[in-house]
Amino acid sequence: MTAGQAIVTWDVQDESERLVGVPDVALASTLSSALDQVYALRSVFAHAALELKRALSYAGFARSRRQSGELQVSLLVRAASGDVDRVITACEKRRVEQAPKIEGISLPSRFVVPVLTPTGEANNPVLRLAVCYAYREVFQLRQLATYEAGVVRNHDTPSGPKAVRAILQNIDMDLLWAARDPSATPRNAYDRADSLRRVGVPEYLTRSSYEKELGLN
């Protein structure tokens, strides 16, 4: 699919227009930084899915929460695969948008691309869109991480097995840690590529693969 055929949302189009005239080299560098954060956040969701699945393997996982837990695993995997828009819709967008405020995490009202200085030269419209979509995904994954942390917390019952409670509490903290700063070192040491691979998601994320994923090339 070409850039002209890709469905461009109004917020991405708005931000893209602000980048007209910014040199491609600056856009490429900015996209690289954004994709590092996308990759880090996707891996957190993949790791959370694997850990929640492990918690569900315990017979002592609350029966009343089991169906919800299994659904959450599938949503976490979808978010890790780049399907964050549909996951947010499935979770009820309003609740996801309100989650950061409830958790005390400061986020802007919408995604914003860092300020870049235009020089007036022509640039690559596909690259502009990729930059905007990447920062949009970072913003959405941070929102979603705070929401999913709250859902995980609801699985944690005082009467549950200590092992299950420990897993759930760690998932909760990992998601909130990433939501606060996606560029921070993970709370728990784990192999990001391995986590993505184990949930069936490509373990590497490049400019080319991201543009293809978006239908921009």
Backbone angles phi, psi at 86, to 5 degrees: -70, -30
Q: Is the per-residue pLDDT at 162 higher than 50?
A: yes
Q: Is the per-residue pLDDT at 22 higher than 70?
A: yes
- How far is Cα of residue 152 from the mean position of the Cα atoms in its chain? 16
| Four-CA torsion 68, 71, 73, 77, nearest 10 degrees | -150
pLDDT-based confidence at residue 7 (cuts at 50, 70, 90): low
Query: For 55-76, what is the mean pLDDT?
Result: 97
Residue 58 is given by DSSP the state S
Q: Is the per-residue pLDDT at 66 higher than 70?
A: yes
> What pLDDT digit, counting tens, does each position of 169-189 carry?
999 999 999 999 988 777 777
* pTM to 2 decimal places: 0.92
3 state SS for 173-207: HHHHHHHHCCCCCCCCCCCHHHHHHHCCCCCCCCH
Closest by Cα among 126, 122, 123 to 3: 126
Q: Is the per-residue pLDDT at 155 higher than 60?
A: yes
Contact yes or no for 78/199 (Cβ under 8 A): no
Q: What value does the mean pLDDT of the chain take?
A: 92
